[in-house]
Chain A
Amino acid sequence: MELTRRQTLALGVATGMTLVLPLPALAAVEEVGGIDDFTGGATPSDSGVTVTAPEIAENGNTVPIAVDAPGAVEIRVYATGNPLPGIATFRFGPLAGSQSASTRVRLSGTQDVVAIAKMADGSFAQASKTVKVTIGGCGG
């Protein structure tokens, strides 16, 4: 098939479009952030939030943890000894059945897992749990 000048141009434009379109709209990706960024320097109280984690984790790649803070609007979880301490931020909406959640995390070695909860009145609560890790979960 012989391509006319017009067809060639159209083809060029079409290829250009397909090259541009698949680029995702780059939304700002939210990070968990540091502890001080969250509390703003306020001293958290010791009660109101619980962290559940195993005493000893053989494999640091999947350590089951659970956090629970009745009345919290937001819970942030940190692994203080990881290269990147932030693990996750949980925000609870109006239909949350309880202010608790569980997940599986990576821990690079024996360390404290810290949960900080922001209560509905703006105060903070903190709890931590030491987990002994036999094999670290950061690949190395």
Chain B
Amino acid sequence: MAEGVKPRVKVPKTASAGETVTIKTLISHPMESGQRKDKEGNVIPRSIINRFVVDFNGENVIDVVLAPAISTNPYFEFDAKVPESGEFTFTWHDDDGDVYTENKAIEVS
């Protein structure tokens, strides 16, 4: 597994029903592209996060397929509709089979 992978997510704590909120996510990951070579000229094998999925109370918000062209520490910003109080689930899928998850609750007032 890639070392020191730490997801960070920014979601507002509250929203009004049906409001659209902006979500920012960042996960520390080297995103080794498989294009680079080490000092001896050997290709450094690819090791990236290949998928990023966001759900809210089980319903899908966004589903991203990542290629090696996404920068180190993949960052995403997008909008989500919040119909009721609940929880966002963020999942990142690593090439090596690891899955990193993060949850954030939001309160509808």
Contact = CB atoms under 8 A, between A and B. Distances in A.
Interface of A: 24-27, 29-32, 61-63, 66, 79, 82-84, 86-98, 100-107, 137-140
A105 B60 contact: no
B36 interface: yes
Task: Pick the 7 closest A-B CB pairs, nearest first.
Answer: A24-B97, A93-B60, A97-B79, A139-B36, A97-B20, A89-B65, A91-B63
A52 to B, nearest CB: 12
A106 B70 contact: yes
25 contacts: A24-B97, A32-B65, A79-B69, A84-B68, A84-B69, A88-B66, A88-B67, A88-B69, A88-B70, A90-B63, A91-B64, A91-B65, A92-B62, A95-B80, A96-B81, A97-B21, A97-B61, A97-B81, A101-B62, A102-B78, A103-B70, A103-B74, A106-B70, A137-B71, A138-B35
B2 to A, nearest CB: 13
Interface in B49-95: 50-51, 55-56, 59-72, 74-83, 95
B60 A89 contact: no
Interface residues of B, number: 39
Contacts, number: 126
